[in-house]
Amino acid sequence: MREDGDIAKPAILFLCLGNICRSPLAEGAARAAFARAGIDVRLDSAGTGDWHVGHPPDDRAQAEARRRGIDISGLRARQLSADDFYDFDLILAADEANLRDARAIRPADATADLRLMLDLLPGRGGEGVTDPYYGRDDGFAATWDDVSAVAAALVAEFSSNG
């Protein structure tokens, strides 16, 4: 757990390819879930690629989050860095390709736990969150359902640890 002022709080990073669809949706879902539970955490998202650095989430991702009562329009894409493996306690990758890319830059003495997002859900271990970017708009709803379930699992885990 990282120190933020006088308060130690968990720090979780959500990771996908471009940081404009899955990981900002996961960050938004987690922010809402942790806020509802009254649990103070530090949350962020990043991408393994640099194509969208500085850009807001995809319009379709923003629309899906808004439909669920969450505003992610203020988020901006950034690329995963080696420092993230020290700055966060847990890094959750959207799929196996992003997990593999993260492992490739992970420092040998890194302190962050690195896992797949869906490993947190019973019966979904090893699965990836579907990338809705090249699909139909309804793919964003399925992605939201997955990342929202991950957020709920995280809240349950941190509620029982607290």
Active site residues: 16, 22, 131
Among left, alpha and beta (phi > 0; psi -120 to 50; other), residue 69 is left
Using CA atoms, how far apart are residues 46 and 52, in angstroms rounded to an integer?
10
End-to-end CA distance of the chain: give it in Å, rounded. 12
Residue 46 exposed, middle or buried by CB count within 10 Å (0-12, 13-18, 19+): buried
Using CA atoms, how far apart are residues 133 and 21, in angstroms rounded to an integer?
7
Using CA atoms, how far apart are residues 15 and 41, in angstroms rounded to an integer?
17
